[in-house]
Structure 1
Amino acid sequence: MNVAERLASRLPGRLGERAERPVVAVVRLHGVITPTPSPVARATINTHALETALTRAFGHERLAAVALEVNSPGGAPTQSALIADRVRGLAAKKNVPVLAFCEDVAASGGYWLACAADEIYAHATSLVGSIGVISAGFGLAGLLERFGVERRLHSAGEHKARLDPFQPEKAEDVAWLKAMQTELHAQFADWVRERRAGRLRGEEAELFSGEVWTGAKAVELGLVDGLGTLRGVVGERWPDATVAVAEPRKPLLARLGLGGAAARFGATPADGMLGAVEALEHRAVWSRFGL
């Protein structure tokens, strides 16, 4: 028992009682999953931003459980896997249960994160699933010529310039991309099978089709364990617990209170354009789920 605990145990009433309460730590996983910490995006998820929050959440002395508050349409598969592995490693070290709570959406990489938990809960209206892999881009062949711009691309290696958006699409490049997507899809499905072993119901062809379901339907399919909210489930399971929220690291401009202005205007016209493109890309990921 440290000094603070000894002092608190001697105090009468609620203060001493509160110091002895178990702790349920909450980690918010909100936003698009991306490997690059963004200075302008309002909310992104990556290992860099989450490390401090995860270590703080699992570091409480009277830790009873950790709750993951998931609200993500997905994103980078490697970041999803790295974060999930980190959660499992910390949970094994502390020997505490991890619960995930799906909010508006826990889809694709967002569902990968949710599967890091021992139990998954969702609201009946949550959007859950999308166990698949997707790639998106633009075909801009001929655009530069129309404006009299000459593009110069030099590479060493036969396949170094695969799927260049300014060149006509090649069938062999599409075949390569689809093969990679198939491999990643298999890894995603294996992760879900491992984490949801004995709880999945329904045909795998349906479960791993990339379809998205409401939380109510996800319960029927065994993708989540039940309907409920963080407040309700934690309040019932640990009625005397202190809930401690561990916030992820915010982007620099957001910490300075400049994120909104920078995203709209940018420090320079180029910055403003990059911020606008980034915002559109993130908006497109959310819009796939009507959000």
Structure 2
Amino acid sequence: MADEWKTASAEGAEGKSWKLLEATLLAGVQEQRRARRWGIFFKLLTFLYLFGALALFSPMLDFQKSAARSASHTALIEVRGVIADQESASADNIVSSLRAAFEDPKTKGIILRINSPGGSPVQSGYIYDEVRRLRAEHAAVKVYAVITDIGASGAYYIASAADEIYADKSSLVGSIGVTAASFGFVDVMQKVGVERRVYTSGEHKAFLDPFQPQKADETQFWQSVLNTTHRQFIDSVKQGRGDRLKVEGHPELFSGLVWSGEQALALGLVDKLGSSSYVAREVIGAKEIVDYTQQDTPFDRFAKKLGASVAEHVAIWAGFSGPTLR
């Protein structure tokens, strides 16, 4: 009987210990849940605070911009980075900025401040056409392209639409050419022993597939696409620059080479050497500069970067890169 009582007591004590441990663990889980809830609450509160602050100060910033535009001024539009859809230097952003600058009656002149290696021929062509169209509609407002570090390829395409082009003596200017890059993995596939299987409903549908050997007729066709884009580029530059280009005796002008600002001046690729402030002050005659560059919100920039990153990785996976002005 005594042994049975001791056994029952031990079992009871063990049961109480397990219950106590269970209660402790449950209390810990509940505490973690409460901590997470409070964390979410404070994060949400911080977000609402920042959102409210942004909503409060945005009208003040707009008022300051309006005040700056109340007098005659030089409009500034940045063309910075790669010229491509969903980028800050996309045709949508640049064209919207241009229209806003031209429509402001206080705009005395417009500066396109360029620092770009180029990009999409389509986006560059859109901007080029719109600059020329707006110049024709607003003959009294001149457009000046000012190249800082680099104004190459698609960026020079855009610059050639301006009334005049300025650059620093050390700026990189030109690169009037077209490129399209890919990879070839045929030998690697054979060495690894992997068989490529691709199914198409067109004879040349997979002609850019990097896992298949190139065909002479398809390579010739693709080169014709690049040549056509290059010819369009050259025609636009000639139309924009006219007789200022020193084409005679310089066959390398449209070869894709890039020159310093000083060399570009001698070739007629730029008109003069100078900075944005110099052009605003000495050429346009309105030293007050107002930035009309359309700015994306941080959320928009994040979304665009995410989308562009996904598209880029898909293109890399497929081994394809479209024509690029470089």
Band the TM-score falls in, shorter-chain normalisation: 0.7 to 0.9
Written as runs of structure 1 = structure 2, the 5 A alignment for 1:270-281 is 274=313
Greater share of residues in helix = 2
Structure with the greater alpha carbon radius of gyration: 2
Q: 1:146 to 1:80 in 2, by over 3 A?
A: same
Written as runs of structure 1 = structure 2, the 5 A alignment for 1:198-237 is 198-201=243-246, 202-237=248-283
Q: Aligned pairs, how many? A: 254
2: CA distance, partners of 1:117 / 1:33: 17
Contact 2:153–2:176, Cα closer than 8 Å, also in 1: yes
2:124 match: 80
Task: Identify unmatched segments of 5+ residues in structure 1.
Answer: 1-16, 38-42
2: CA distance, partners of 1:227 / 1:233: 10
State the Cα distance separating 1:215 from its structure 2 match: 0.3
1: CA distance, partners of 2:189 / 2:266: 51
State the Cα distance separating 1:78 from its structure 2 match: 1.4
1: CA distance, partners of 2:236 / 2:244: 13
Q: 1:88 to 1:271 in 2, by over 3 A?
A: closer
Written as runs of structure 1 = structure 2, the 5 A alignment for 1:259-274 is 274=313
Deviation beyond 4 Å, 4+ runs, structure 1: 17-20, 142-151, 251-259, 270-273
1: CA distance, partners of 2:311 / 2:214: 30
Task: Tell me the TM-score normalized by structure 1.
Answer: 0.75
2:91 match: 47
2: CA distance, partners of 1:93 / 1:24: 18
State the Cα distance separating 1:76 from its structure 2 match: 1.3
- Secondary structure of residue in 1 paired with 2:149: strand
1: CA distance, partners of 2:250 / 2:126: 25
1:3 match: none
1: CA distance, partners of 2:186 / 2:109: 53
Q: 1:53 to 1:151 in 2, by over 3 A?
A: farther
2: CA distance, partners of 1:258 / 1:190: 32
1: CA distance, partners of 2:119 / 2:240: 20
Per-residue Cα deviation, 1:172-211 (whole angstroms, up to 9, x for no partner) = 2221122122222221111111111121124351211111
- Identical pairs, percent: 38
1: CA distance, partners of 2:174 / 2:254: 8
Task: Tell me the TM-score normalized by structure 2.
Answer: 0.68
Written as runs of structure 1 = structure 2, the 5 A alignment for 1:31-180 is 31-34=81-84, 36-37=85-86, 44-95=88-139, 96-143=141-188, 151-180=196-225
Task: Identify unmatched segments of 5+ residues in structure 2.
Answer: 1-66
- Of 115-124 and 171-180, deviating more is 171-180
1:194 match: 239
- Secondary structure of residue in 1 paired with 2:99: helix
Code of the residue aligned with 2:167 in structure 1: it is A
- Of 168-177 and 233-242, deviating more is 233-242
Per-residue Cα deviation, 1:55-103 (whole angstroms, up to 9, x for no partner) = 2222211221111011111111111111111111122222221100011
Code of the residue aligned with 2:260 in structure 1: it is T
- Secondary structure of residue in 1 paired with 2:232: helix
Q: Supply the RMSD in Å over aligned alpha carbons.
A: 3.5
Q: 1:106 to 1:272 in 2, by over 3 A?
A: closer
